[in-house]
Amino acid sequence: MDSDEKPIELYLGDDSPDPRPESQELLQRIKSALPQLEALYEDLDHQYEDRFYRYYHGSLKLYALQTATLKVVAALEALCPGRPLNDAFSRIVSEGTGLSRLEGSGGGGSSKERHILEAFFHARSFLEMAIRYGKSLEFAPSWLPTGWASVLYLFNLRLDRH
């Protein structure tokens, strides 16, 4: 994300704040952590392209992507210490990390290698959305742009399903 990137135009419906203090606190923690989150996101740029290429090239260098994924997860967890992350996200991360090269096919797109990419993509996407909404929202709204709703799901704060 470019630091001079314009905020996203958001839905202009109900502009009242989300009444739940935990949603407001999450947004404030994101805002406070923006410099670190943006630096982490920028560090991922090379790895994103390179490791995507490595998957199709059949290179074992893809396995190094697990470290980046875990760094992103740690940064996200630090935004709400003590609050468990979404079960589906945690399962994706679990299936895509902790894998050794010996467990894979030796490159070439095994299902374990696809899980490494999938875990990274999900972690990177949540990081990107946290940055986007940390920059563009003044307060956690009661209406939910889908990206912000996704961030709330990550922290198990979006419980009602409409």
| 17 neighbors 143 (Cβ within 8 angstroms) | no
The answer as to whether 161 is a domain residue is no
Alpha helix stretches (DSSP H) within the chain: 21-57, 65-77, 87-95, 111-136, 146-154
- Domain range for residue 112? 21-154
Cα(105)–Cα(30) distance, integer angstroms: 39
Residuewise pLDDT in 10s, the chain (162 residues) = 454 554 444 444 567 898 889 999 999 999 999 999 999 999 998 788 888 888 888 888 899 999 999 999 999 999 999 999 999 999 999 999 999 876 545 556 678 899 999 999 999 999 999 999 999 999 998 887 889 999 999 999 986 654
Total domains present in the chain: 1
Under 8 Å between Cβ of 117 and 62: yes
Residue 79 lies in a domain: yes
- Specify if 60 maps to a domain: yes
Indicate whether 107 belongs to any domain.
yes
Residue 43 lies inside a defined structural domain of this protein: yes
Contacts of 22 (CB under 8 A, 6+ apart): 80, 157
